Amino acid sequence: MANVSESLASEVSELKVLLAQTTTIGNRRDLEQLLQRKQNALNATLQQAQPMDIEPTEGGPQPVLVAVTRPAVNDSTTFTEISRFGWEDDGYGKEKVAVYIMSGIDGVGDLPKENVTCDFTPSSFDLKIIGLGNKNYRLVKQHLDKEIDPAKSSYRIKKNRVTISLHKADKNNTWMSLTAKNPLKTGKPDTNDPAAGIMDMMKNIGGYRIRIKYRHISQGF
């Protein structure tokens, strides 16, 4: 702001000098108009740069700082399960799996941001929507088909939908389902069995050929 005001002040000074030296009517008129514009711009800049002095009114109410916090959620909070959602794997070699909630949550984008949260772990995500139409909604999925990177996973809120982006821990994995068929199985190859590693690689390649990109609409699956 200081640089702008200094530049304008210099231009105003130069124009005043030129105006004093100009004798022709047309040139003086043009210089006067230009000088007026520059002077107005300088005045506006200086006015914006001046701090506003606000004196407290004697006996009047004082401003109150309000801290924004998440709505209280505890074990007794009642949730309605989100049973209709879609999910999509971008495919082999891609980094993300997307989960879409597009029905039953109309108006979610109008809620305060702190009313919609999603927590991630390497094997799960937990979406909570608080106070939508006097109800609380939740979509929680544990034992995901493959591990994710919680730090890189995220979610986006639109007017009537929420999109969860799960960032794969290994982009070369292809997800055959959103949650693991056998949660007790880690899905990691036995390093002592070379054939196991080859089989896992063939599964990924086979999945890629069959389904480069696919979408599943789930009913609570």
Co-location of 155 and 94 in the same domain: yes
- Give the end-to-end CA distance of the chain in Å, rounded to a whole number: 58
101 in a domain, yes or no?
Answer: yes
Co-location of 161 and 107 in the same domain: yes
Residue 120 scores a pLDDT above 60: yes
What is the secondary structure of 91-145 as a DSSP string? -TT--EEEEEE-SS-TTGGGS-GGGEEEEEETTEEEEEEEEETTEEEEEEE-SBS
Co-location of 100 and 146 in the same domain: yes
- How many structural domains compose the chain? 2
* pLDDT value of position 46: 75
58 in a domain, yes or no?
Answer: no
210 in a domain, yes or no?
Answer: no
Model pTM score: 0.53
179 in a domain, yes or no?
Answer: no
**Which domain, by its residues, includes 12?**
1-47
How far apart are the C-alpha atoms of 158 and 109, rounded to whole Å? 5
Residue 168 scores a pLDDT above 50: yes
Residue 103 sits in a domain of what CATH number?
Answer: 2.60.40.790
Residue 165 scores a pLDDT above 90: yes
Left (φ > 0), alpha (ψ -120 to 50) or beta: where does 143 sit? left
How far apart are the C-alpha atoms of 136 and 188, rounded to whole Å? 37
Residue 212: band (very low, low, confident or very high) from pLDDT cuts 50, 70, 90: very low
How far apart are the C-alpha atoms of 180 and 161, rounded to whole Å? 25
pLDDT tens, residue by residue, 4-62: 767 777 787 787 877 788 888 888 788 888 878 878 887 777 777 665 555 555 655 66
